[in-house]
Chains A and B, each alone.
Chain A
């Protein structure tokens, strides 16, 4: 069945995601501040402790952040704090 020129209304939010150029990858992390964002899944901290050790061993400064719960997006204030204080961020999963 066809309908010539049937008009329907767009059910979506009609938004177009902004596209941004990725920053270039740093050659090394020495002297940079790396944020480690723990999403608060069980044992994620174990994984991030080891990542922190490795980063410090490479001369990075590490700041740790934890989401209140893994089921919700990181709070705006936390995202802002990470953006203001870190050159890089690693958002880490668990399980």
Chain B
């Protein structure tokens, strides 16, 4: 109930509509109730209904909205202006209790469900929210002219990633804000590169534009909290000439609740949550942070994942503990892990029949991350598919065992890596010639599990300059 909610009169209050069989069924009872107590009837659709007792037409649905009427009929007890009890639909026992009439409706069924209140009608609810919420929206309202195509207008203002965006009307933004318990003006982070306060409201606007549903909003907020840290270094991820952007890996039961894809084509198109959560993060960085290609974003090539790169780990199918668990998140909690990564590349191995053989293949392919002669400075995500995962499962390999083996087997003599070796100028400095070096630093492989049930392939996402020089992965719990 908002602060401007109209008060209900003392006594009993019932909210009904003609277009409801249950309301029509209880209509004869209203006369009996009115005879014994102070009854106020609100009718939603037809001011002439009910005909047996006087009714107040809740024409703007203000009473229904403010008093959270989800179902009609709803019967409410009001004492000294405060609601003390309510029942909805027809429940003979409840109606008898609230009215104090012990024989009320004895000829009616014991119970019958009610109908949807007009105040929760999907066609009306957004407008009602705008009309009746103590609107917390403070963003500038932009009125487009009648001659403007709204989609073209948003392109023209530079607000899009090159694809059309959903117009962020107040109705849509308020609906988006129902996805979080956080106040619209809560500051989530300081958004680079312009270092401006990033509010829940601004995130919600960009989430609408990206095509998110309200239930995705907490994931978008968590991902933005994660990327706007000094550890992740979104400023540098934008400014670098390398092709990286935020890659978002989602964990927890919430990934399934919001319908994320961790299976067939998990890294690709087709799933709304996967594609719009990542897109909302990038649109927010663009529009609020001010990070636009050609300006602070100096990427030589970029990669298509900079529009959106977000997927869920298949925790239920995985032979390993989850990435989030590995990163300190309690089992059953929802979390996002952000990684500065480029596009995915495929590892083909259709002949390995043992974990050992497959590990060797994975190492060979991981060696190519950014350059076969550059080591330790770049991390990578390794996404094991179900078909590949089976080889590790059947031999009982753990996450730790696989990662240890990958790093151990990636050691290469410095003489093969130094600048000039193998006829390749690129490489590590000459003073490391006598060292034997692993491809990855400790913790430099983020092992995760996703993909469709067929295909002896895994996937690698190469990272950017790691550690305090560049970016380290960041994991955040998804709030409410």
Contacts and interface: CB of A to CB of B under 8 A. Distances in A.
- Interaction A to B: yes
Interface of A: 1-15, 68-69, 71-73
B151 to A, nearest CB: 8
A13 B168 contact: no
Given A5-B145, A6-B150, A73-B235, A12 B288 contact: yes
A7 B145 contact: no
Interface centre among A14, A71, A73 (most CB of B within 10 A): A71
Interface of B: 137, 139-150, 154, 159, 167-170, 173, 191, 194, 196, 202, 205-206, 209, 230, 233, 235-236, 239-240, 283, 287-290, 465, 468-471
Overall SS of chain B's interface: mixed
Contact of B191 (A4, A10, A13): A13
Given A6-B144, A69-B469, A72-B235, A11 B194 contact: no
Contact of A72 (B137, B236, B283): B236
Overall SS of chain A's interface: loop
Interface centre among A9, A14, A71, A72 (most CB of B within 10 A): A9
Given A2-B148, A8-B150, 11 more contacts: A5-B143, A6-B144, A6-B150, A7-B143, A9-B141, A12-B159, A13-B196, A15-B194, A69-B236, A71-B470, A72-B230
Contacts of A8: 141-142, 144, 150, 154, 167-169
B140 A9 contact: yes
B288 A13 contact: yes
A2 B170 contact: no
Contacts of B196: 13, 15
Contacts of A69: 236, 468-470
Nearest to B237: A71
Nearest to B166: A8
A14 B140 contact: yes
Contact of B287 (A5, A7, A11, A68): A11
Enumerate the 6 nearest inter-chain pairs by beta-carbon distance, A residue then B residue, closest first.
A71-B236, A4-B146, A10-B140, A13-B196, A11-B287, A9-B139
A5 B144 contact: yes
Contacts of B209: 11
B149 A14 contact: no
Nearest to B198: A13
A13 B357 CA distance: 52
A1 B205 contact: no
Contact of B283 (A10, A11, A68): A11
A1 B139 CA distance: 25
Nearest to A69: B469
B469 to A, nearest CB: 5
B206 A11 contact: yes
